Amino acid sequence: MRAVFADCHVGRQTGDEGPFLEALLQARDRGARGIFLLGDIFHFFIAHPKFQTPAIGRFLETVDRLRADGVPVTYVEGNRDFFLRGSYVESKFEKVCDEYDLHGQQREAAKSMINVGKGGKVSDHVGPLAEAGCHPLQALMALHVIFSTSHTRGQAAMAGAQKH
């Protein structure tokens, strides 16, 4: 038996990964010989250490347990999964496959999401996202969310804003 999971969109709320992680372990306990994750397992999964959330960390620990128990996990990247191939997480999986390839402007837009906060203003990173087809206001809002939840500078700014 093989188990297949898709479009779980874990990570919308703190702690919502629990039922998904339990389902992975139940699949193992029921005799699954392999688990296939068909994209969009997380609401966003950017495979870079600075974007690793506690939920992603617990997921990766679960994948390690499954692999140690002889249950390989294959991850097919969806449209909310970025850069798993060649990343620090790739070796945890039996195989990482692309749902589709990012090219040109899309790849530059994704790099902007990773590079936000390395310096300059968040708004400096809107251009590549807009060029890839994102509405500039949506791009700015998305970058602000990523910055404010993923970077020490952003978290400090958010904490200061909450005091006022």
- 33-65 residue pLDDT tens: 999 988 888 988 989 898 899 999 999 999 999
Q: What pTM did the predictor assign?
A: 0.62
Residue of 71 and 2 predicted with greater confidence: 71
> Within 10 A of 139 (CB to CB), how many other CB atoms are there?
24
1-101: which CATH topology? Purple Acid Phosphatase; chain A, domain 2 (3.60.21)
Cβ 89 vs Cβ 48: under 8 Å = no
Judged on CB neighbours under 10 Å (0-12, 13-18, 19+), 121 is exposed
Sorted by where each begins, the domain ranges of the chain are 1-101, 102-164
Q: How far is CA 102 from CA 7, 89, 99, 128, 131, in A?
A: 19, 19, 10, 13, 14
Distance CA 132, CA 109 (A): 6
Distance CA 140, CA 126 (A): 6
The pLDDT tens digits of the residues spanning 89-125 come to: 999 999 888 755 445 665 566 666 666 666 667 777 7
Query: What pLDDT is stored for residue 67 in this prediction?
Result: 96
Distance CA 132, CA 108 (A): 8
The pLDDT tens digits of the residues spanning 122-153 come to: 777 778 767 766 667 766 766 766 666 555 55
Kindly write down the DSSP assignment for every residue of 56-114, as one continuous string. Answer: HHHHHHHHHHHHHTT--EEEEE-TTEE--TTSTTGGGSSEEEESS---HHHHHHHHHHH
